Structure 1
Amino acid sequence: MSQIELTFPDGSVRSVASGTTGLEIAKGISEGLARKALGVKLGDKVLDLTRPLTESGTIKIITPSNDDPDALMLLRHSCSHVLAEAICDLFPGTKLAYGPAIEKGFYYDLMTPTPIQQSDFERIEKRMKEIIKEDRPFTRCEVSAADGLKRTEGDKYKTDNAQRALAREGSDGTLSFYVTGEPGKNFEDLCAGPHVPSTGKLKNFKVLSMSGAYWHGDQNSDQLTRVYGTCFADKEGLETYLKFLEEAEKRDHRKIGKEMDLYHIEDHSPGMVFWHPKGTKMVNTLKDYIRGKIDRRGYQEVITPEIVNKTLWIKSGHADKYNENMFKTLAGDVEMAVKPMNCPCHIQI
């Protein structure tokens, strides 16, 4: 049997048989570490504890920590699956799109037969707690492309995800599914992974909010519901974050702006601010403050057009790099664009 060389965080190197799992390595260090472990990192890849390791490289056993991005990613990605299962149980007929971990938590985009309301969060959390208490294992199943597409047949979103995964560069022609429990009996979801060993690791979670989302971000496509949540390594981390959100809400500029009668935004002018007298006074005070600062430092002010013929942006190179993100309009037959930045117009001066 071939061997692989693993370099541990302390610099020590061990030779193990190819196919050894992260769990076996953790047990070889201590039973306590194996019980705590969430996953393993080989090189720059985070893997399930039970995945066979077939390449040499640096290795880290990932344990619960609010300071370790790899640990939080594993917890949050896994928790998104528990959220999806809970919603599918409570809203039979739900179609799942995708549910990644993000910087502060996770979300799942889905379509339910009846709309989810904020008032449903309590029973969603209750069902999630039941799944977590069962401490079901996350079981990875790898299947051929044909078998995988058969599993997603009739499911528009998962079929599309499967086809994209198979077309991705580096695909080995297989698809992976994760079951929270026993294959064929418990919840299954198309997913590349990785995940924590079992649902029991996900006790410190919270369903936070929801919003609308479009399939693939295309506003001409299906509108989905995006449910947000978060998960931490311990109760303290979760409580600290929830307290932070509570304090941030008190200081939300959208709430304060309305309460202080500073401004409002109209539906027919999204993202554009209608400054009220008090707000205008505040804006002008800030402008005067900044103007005084830059004037004392020897800067000179100029004013340039907001909308310019697109030929300038072609000449400056902005059109090549930012064309899809530029706001364009027509003046007769001439294509114009709102300036993405000041420098080309300043150069004209």
Structure 2
Amino acid sequence: MLLRLSARSIRRSSSSSSFSSSLPYLFASASPFCTAPPMAINHPKDEAYLSSVIPKRIKLFEEIQVNQLEYLRALPHDPIKITLPDGTVKDGRKWETTPMDIAGQISKGLATSALISEVNDALWDMTRPLEGDCKLQLFKFDSDKGRDTLWHSSAHILGQALEQEYGCQLCIGPCTTRGEGFFYDAFYGNLGLNDDHFPKIEAGAAKAAKEAQPFERIEVTKDQALEMFSDNNFKVEIINELPADKTITVYRCGPLVDLCRGPHIPNTSFVKAFKCLRASSAYWRASKDRESLQRVYGISYPDQKQLKKYLQFLEEAKKYDHRLLGQKQELFFCHPLSPGSWFFLPLGTRVYNKLMDFIKEQYWKRGYTEVITPNMYNMNLWETSGHAANYKENMFTFDIEKQEFGLKPMNCPGHCLMFQHRVRSYRELPIRLADFGVLHRNEASGALSGLTRVRRFQQDDAHIFCKEDQVTEEVKGVLEFIDYVYKVFGFTYELKLSTRPEKYLGDSETWDKAEKDLKVALDAFGKPWLLNPGDGAFYGPKIDITVSDAMNRKFQCATLQLDFQLPDRFKLEYAAEDEAKIERPVMIHRAVLGSVERMFAILLEHYKGKWPFWLSPRQAIVCPISKKSEIYALQVKERIHQAGYYVDADISDRKIDKKVREAQLAQYNYILVVGETEAATGQVSVRLRDSAAHLVKSIDDLLEDFKAKTAEYQ
């Protein structure tokens, strides 16, 4: 049985077994320098690379694999109990029974569709033997975990096709952060990839899928990894950053041997549909001072039907790209003299301010206090907060009078200074500080993408300082705030609790308590939530909120993070009820919109350019039928303007049908036609944006409609 499992039996684990590892995704590592320049690469295909480097890796992989299999063969295969989500208990053997075996016992269909399993809340390869009594859950493509695993594995298939076709040096290859496919970065020398290269890449991926290559896993020492990847300086750089005693995981599918945390799908045949989407340039480590890479984006599915549906969706979505709509509606633009920092035109500024006013109104109702904090700070502040060590490469820094300063990428350290500036009492808590301050993050130029990835932005950022016994209620209050706002926008959303990552500040006991507090608050909120192990911020666990828009696309917007670390690092204190006792507050980071820019883009696409009345920059336009009614049209416009609504008047000499049609195309919510009859009666003929029907109303009744729609966020 063990020999039949081959290398599939050595899989990633978060348990304490001899070969288990808690290695973080190597794709997410960061390093300030490379050990050596990349080796020269010839194109279109480096035969020497393919004939020497790849066979060497495979030989080393197989040698290590044999030794590890022999070790497992000698272990006792004691009976174990496997508990399924419905409470059913299956019998198995330690180091022998796999999740795939259990899936086969349940049904043949499940065994051919389950992509990944979860063992005691840790993701686990379907073909990896279980190591003891456990809880087991199986996931297909219709789950986030199954989908992300298929796309992660597809990135390896893409990497294999790229390496085989071009002999390139592979760098990193994760799922995309937006949850739509995957990409792989690689170094190709002077070659620039484009759509013309995609057929060959897709043919390579199809070949790999047809061969049903198993995803095999081994664990190696640092020295073994350095030997295995000695011909790829990007991988060497990653490996050199790891501690000497760190167990490193390596996966193989067919000729591809790659550093990877895993886990993966059982074999490449599960990827039935594969498509390259686009290619772009990228920098290694997202630094303009590093090597220029080529990034290929892809998408994959377990059947062709889903791929076809997705490609049709992409064509539809292109019509509503916020960059296209923003230009068409004269909302915003970007200039090459300030990349990643957008200009909001008068109409775009109306929407931007409406979003902030909406949140400010909720602040007033929910007990938040607005503050204003500086835009730049001495780097000593960021050293205290920990951002200098963990985030500096994403900051804009500069010297002033021989001292280093940085533009703020977030507001939290400044809010700590505000809490700290005088003695605090328990009677003041909770303190909810809200700040729309301008933030700057040094995103790589290749990563910039419309309003969704920028360098200059504002957040509806707030920090709550509270007592430990107030955490549950405060977190619940934030979740209710988020729920209210997203219902107004028409979003559905998912909640995930992201727990302690590999690199974190503080001690494990504090983290355990913070995670427990968030679990209690989520349960009290009463909506379903999922566990997302290891994806917390470096300073604390968080609740991630993923919204789905009208086109069922997922976005990360709101965030809620519990932080015991910053109050400790800044020595924040308040006087407890026992006045002789000093306590440390808990800090809750939260944003509802997230970046206002990003939410602007999401809403523009979500509404397909058709803004609801309350948020619209073009709420009404008055169209006189002839010159005789122009004066009345301007009087109507002024009346609506004085009532506080955005209104224009079309007093051109065009025919009324053309005026109405252009107003509809410009997405005015209300088109108010006036002629001599309306002027004589003090009324307007009302047409709605998406309707040919019209009715006559008095100005007072019309303004009552406007007032009701605004109050109800319609």
Match of residue 221 from structure 1: 290
Q: Distance in 1 between matches of 2:401 and 2:306?
A: 58
One-letter code of the match for 1:12?
A: T
Any residues of structure 2 matched to 1:64-143 within 5 Å, and which? Answer: 64-66=140-142, 68-91=143-166, 93-102=167-176, 103-113=179-189, 114-143=191-220
Q: Distance in 2 between matches of 1:144 and 1:338?
A: 41
Q: 315, 323, 327: which one pairs with 1:246?
A: 315
Match of residue 60 from structure 1: 137
One-letter code of the match for 1:13?
A: V
* 2:80 equivalent to 1:14: no
One-letter code of the match for 1:99?
A: G
Q: 224, 230, 233: which one pairs with 2:299?
A: 230
Q: CA deviation at 1:233?
A: 3.6
Q: CA deviation at 1:216?
A: 2.6
User: Higher mean Cα deviation, 228-237 or 280-289?
Assistant: 280-289
Q: 228, 237, 257: which one pairs with 1:188?
A: 257
Structure 1 pair 4–190 and aligned structure 2 pair: CA distance change class (3 A): same
Q: Distance in 2 between matches of 1:304 and 1:29?
A: 59
One-letter code of the match for 2:151?
A: R
Q: CA deviation at 1:54?
A: 0.6
Q: Distance in 2 between matches of 1:39 and 1:218?
A: 34
Match of residue 46 from structure 1: 123
Match of residue 264 from structure 1: 333
The residue matched to 1:101 in structure 2 has which SS?
coil
User: Contact 2:217/2:249 (CA < 8 Å) preserved in 1?
Assistant: no
Q: 252, 262, 269: which one pairs with 1:200?
A: 269
Higher radius of gyration, 1 or 2: 2
**What per-residue deviation string (whole Å, max 9, x for no partner) do you get for residues 96-127 of structure 1?**
01212232211111112422113222332232
Structure 1 pair 229–298 and aligned structure 2 pair: CA distance change class (3 A): closer
The residue matched to 1:129 in structure 2 has which SS?
helix
User: Contact 1:162/1:175 (CA < 8 Å) preserved in 2?
Assistant: no
User: Contact 1:140/1:179 (CA < 8 Å) preserved in 2?
Assistant: no
Match of residue 183 from structure 1: none
Q: Distance in 2 between matches of 1:255 and 1:247?
A: 13
Q: Distance in 1 between matches of 2:314 and 2:249?
A: 38
Q: Distance in 2 between matches of 1:205 and 1:331?
A: 52
One-letter code of the match for 2:80?
A: I
Structure 1 pair 9–111 and aligned structure 2 pair: CA distance change class (3 A): same
Q: Distance in 1 between matches of 2:125 and 2:373?
A: 55
Per the normalisation by structure 2, the TM-score is: 0.40
The residue matched to 2:171 in structure 1 has which SS?
strand
Q: CA deviation at 1:310?
A: 5.1
**What per-residue deviation string (whole Å, max 9, x for no partner) do you get for residues 47-105 of structure 1?**
2222121132210233x332x112112211111111111112221x2000121223221
Q: CA deviation at 1:198?
A: 1.9
User: Contact 1:307/1:336 (CA < 8 Å) preserved in 2?
Assistant: no
What residue ranges of structure 2 are gaps of 5+ in the alignment?
1-76, 419-432, 435-714
Q: Distance in 2 between matches of 1:293 and 1:143?
A: 51
Structure 1 pair 326–94 and aligned structure 2 pair: CA distance change class (3 A): closer
Match of residue 349 from structure 2: 283
User: Contact 2:330/2:348 (CA < 8 Å) preserved in 1?
Assistant: no
Q: Distance in 2 between matches of 1:175 and 1:289?
A: 46
Q: Distance in 2 between matches of 1:8 and 1:164?
A: 39
Match of residue 81 from structure 2: 5
The residue matched to 1:5 in structure 2 has which SS?
strand
The residue matched to 1:209 in structure 2 has which SS?
strand
Q: CA deviation at 1:18?
A: 0.6
**What per-residue deviation string (whole Å, max 9, x for no partner) do you get for residues 177-204 of structure 1?**
3132xxxxx3332333222222211013
* 2:227 equivalent to 1:160: no
Structure 1 pair 247–23 and aligned structure 2 pair: CA distance change class (3 A): same
Match of residue 178 from structure 1: 252
Higher RCO by CA contacts (8 Å cutoff, separation 6 or greater) = 1
Q: Distance in 2 between matches of 1:309 and 1:77?
A: 39
Q: Distance in 2 between matches of 1:55 and 1:292?
A: 53
Structure 1 pair 84–332 and aligned structure 2 pair: CA distance change class (3 A): same
Give the CA RMSD over aligned residues: 3.8
User: Contact 1:309/1:334 (CA < 8 Å) preserved in 2?
Assistant: no
Q: Distance in 2 between matches of 1:196 and 1:291?
A: 47
What residue ranges of structure 1 are gaps of 5+ in the alignment?
181-185
Q: CA deviation at 1:8?
A: 0.6
One-letter code of the match for 1:320?
A: S
**What per-residue deviation string (whole Å, max 9, x for no partner) do you get for residues 188-243 of structure 1?**
32333222222211013322223332223333222222211122344444344333
One-letter code of the match for 1:242?
A: L
Structure 1 pair 11–245 and aligned structure 2 pair: CA distance change class (3 A): same
Q: 217, 227, 233: which one pairs with 1:150?
A: 227
The residue matched to 1:98 in structure 2 has which SS?
coil
| Total equivalences in the alignment | 329
* 2:101 equivalent to 1:36: no
Q: CA deviation at 1:136?
A: 2.7
**What per-residue deviation string (whole Å, max 9, x for no partner) do you get for residues 284-313 of structure 1?**
576489769979x989xx9968646659x9
User: Contact 2:94/2:131 (CA < 8 Å) preserved in 1?
Assistant: yes
Q: CA deviation at 1:150?
A: 1.8
Structure 1 pair 13–252 and aligned structure 2 pair: CA distance change class (3 A): same
Q: Distance in 1 between matches of 2:251 and 2:278?
A: 27
